[in-house]
A and B are shown apart, each in its own frame.
Chain A
Amino acid sequence: MDSDPIVEVRGLNHWFGTGEARKLALSNINMTLTRGGFTVLMGPSGSGKTTVLTLVGCLRAVQEGSVRLMGHELNGASAKELTALRQRLGFIFQAHNLHESLTALQNVIMGVQVRPGLPDDLARHAAARALGLVGLSDRLDYLPAKLSGGQKQRVAVARALVGNPALVLADEPTAALDKDSASDVVDLLKRLGARRGTTTLLVTHDNRILDRADRILTLEDGRLVSVKETAAE
């Protein structure tokens, strides 16, 4: 079971638009993510990185080919099944996407509360712990407006990790951050992911992140052009 891949993509094609305007965004993508790795997805703008992430993250319907996520085939899955699978993922977006009306703690609670039947104080405890892990124990009751950009993105990391997801999908999480904050956030993701056995798939343009990767996938024009295992581990 442990050696089962978290994500297995076979012959994945994806188009945007219809009729004349129909445009191939991904062409014959094959890739496998095994448990626990830190994979970076690179490529020029418009090469299809985000599209891969939304397909693997159950945010878009698979059109052609196969995507298996934790053993579930996503091609043909119902919206309900996709929603249920998403509850087991962690998302980190380019913008922090924190809820302005919720405190840091409450934002992180939202990351676990999605699991039905979880007692209130347990959710609160887990959220506080996750915020502690990203170094924000003293900011639990701060609204996002009172946090710096790096702190907000760390809250977003805590929110993505608090539910112990099998897979974390991050799309340019450091693009809006200065150099120090960016490397803080990536270090956190890498360190916490490794400790929890989480698989991470991170999209970036940022070369500073590459030396942290276990594996680097490069997309060009919708095709996977290189898979590089690095010596990081």
Chain B
Amino acid sequence: MSRLLQRIFGRLPIGWLQLTHKRGRFAAALAGVAFANVLVFVQLGIMNSMAEATLRPYGFFDADVMISAADANALAEGGNVARQWMLQALADPDVNDGMGLFVGNVPWDRGGTDITLTTFGVDPGRPDFVTHGLTDGLMYLQVQDTVILDRLARGLPHEEAAAIRPQTPLAFETENRTLTAMTTFAGGGAFGGDGYMLVSDQTFLSLFPSRSSAAPDHILLRLRSGADVAATIERLQGLISDHSLRIRSFVDAAVEDLRYQQTQRPTGVIFGFGVLIGVLVGLVIVYQVLSADVADHLREYATFKAMGYRPRFFLGIVIEEALVLGLLGFLPGLIVGTAILTVMGKVTTLPLAMTPGMAVTVLLGTLVFSVISGGIATRRLAAADPADLF
């Protein structure tokens, strides 16, 4: 290792030799960096899964524009939108088609475990508005009280979900009604619910008697192909009489939902804060180790200064140490972080996993922050005055 580093640096790897000379301190420092890495990995993993879970339901639908109430920050949040605005929107030449989208949570008592299905009510006659995995199943929804069920829902055993087919449907009781799952699609557990369910708007209204067909939660619009989405939205804002409505492209709606989850909701803020804490812990640990190391070697550094070594050389030693700590601390952090995320993913059925992107981000972050800490630690080098050596 020492020889290898000597090749790389073109000089004795003093930083490496210095760090490994005090094995106890070195091991503690690596454990500290690894711990900070694990902290960041877990928080990032949760944030990633939150992003994935937030964006996932948008993937069920195929629309260009979404009209929502002013307070509708997320799909399942906020007031509803009068259907009459859809009729106004359809007057625009670039708007091809519109559909009301109903959203509500349906509890499902599975004998012991209560699970919550985020339920979307759609018009079964408009397959254009749902994405591939759902178009085929949509025709079954024409029959009252039939559903397309999320086969990845939390609390739904795999074998049970896999057995659901039109020939062998699954009937279940909820809200004093009997629903029949004719087919399934791949959703997954989220933070707001355990899974998803698609029903016809008629079935939705019978599940939620207080809701009215005249007021869906959102209105989805599909535009003429090649239409300018931004320009159309601007026209719609003039066209529709209710100016408090949020008229956004479907993509923007998803992005804004995610931003809302990450910055306005306590969970998102807490996880973001967790990343910050992890970074700070790492920064402080590396700084502590390196500045203590500089302080311990002031005499040696002063001697090297007397011998004619330049400031760059000392900076190089500390940066070398920072990189060694960052790199060697990252590896155990990656292994432990992956293990924790895998176990957490299994337990929660949230999409928690180590991704290459996360690993690379955290590695680069670790190296950058290590070098920053090292840079700060070198301020102490000024105290090494070779004139004091004699």
Contact = CB atoms under 8 A, between A and B. Distances in A.
A84 B297 CA distance: 23
Contacts of B297: 99
Contacts of A171: 390
B300 A99 contact: yes
A106 interface: yes
Contacts of A2: none
B306 A57 contact: yes
B387 A54 contact: yes
B21 A100 contact: yes
A82 B286 CA distance: 33
A97 B302 CA distance: 9
Contacts of A114: 307-309
B12 A106 contact: yes
A225 interface: no
A94 interface: yes
A94 B390 contact: yes
A153 B303 CA distance: 14
A18 B56 CA distance: 72
Nearest to B304: A110
Interface residues of A, number: 30
A93 interface: yes
A113 interface: yes
A177 interface: no
A99 B13 CA distance: 13
Interface residues of B, number: 25
B318 to A, nearest CB: 14
Contacts of B307: 86-87, 91, 110-111, 114
A162 B239 CA distance: 88
B18 A101 contact: yes
A86 B14 CA distance: 21
Contacts of A59: 306, 386-387, 389-390
Given A54-B390, A93-B303, A102 B12 contact: yes
Interface string A73-106: 0000000000111111101011101011110001
A60 interface: yes
B177 interface: no
A51 to B, nearest CB: 9
Name the residue in B6, B302, B304, B308 with the highest tally of chain A Cβ atoms < 10 Å from its Cβ: B308
Nearest to A143: B21
Nearest to A53: B390
Given A106-B12, A111-B307, A113-B11, A101 B387 contact: no
B14 A99 contact: yes
Given A101-B17, A106-B17, A110-B12, A120 B6 contact: yes
Nearest to B385: A59
B299 interface: yes
Interface in B298-327: 299-300, 302-310
Contacts of A88: 308
Contact of B303 (A50, A97, A109): A97
A147 to B, nearest CB: 15
Interface in A7-66: 50, 53-54, 57, 59-60
Nearest to B3: A120
A131 to B, nearest CB: 15
Nearest to B389: A93
Nearest to A112: B307
Contacts of B300: 97, 99-100
Contacts of B308: 83-89, 114
A78 B303 CA distance: 20
Nearest to A49: B390
A57 B306 CA distance: 8
Contact of B14 (A84, A85, A91, A101): A101
A50 B21 CA distance: 33
B306 A91 contact: yes
Contacts of A60: 387
A213 B20 CA distance: 43
Name the residue in A88, A95, A101, A171 with the highest tally of chain B Cβ atoms < 10 Å from its Cβ: A101
Contacts of B306: 57, 59, 86, 91
Interface string A99-143: 111100010011101100000100000000000000000000000
8 contacts: A50-B390, A83-B309, A93-B390, A106-B12, A110-B304, A113-B11, A113-B12, A120-B6
Given A83-B310, A93-B303, 15 more contacts: A59-B306, A59-B390, A83-B308, A86-B307, A93-B389, A97-B302, A99-B297, A99-B300, A101-B14, A101-B17, A101-B21, A102-B12, A102-B17, A110-B304, A171-B390
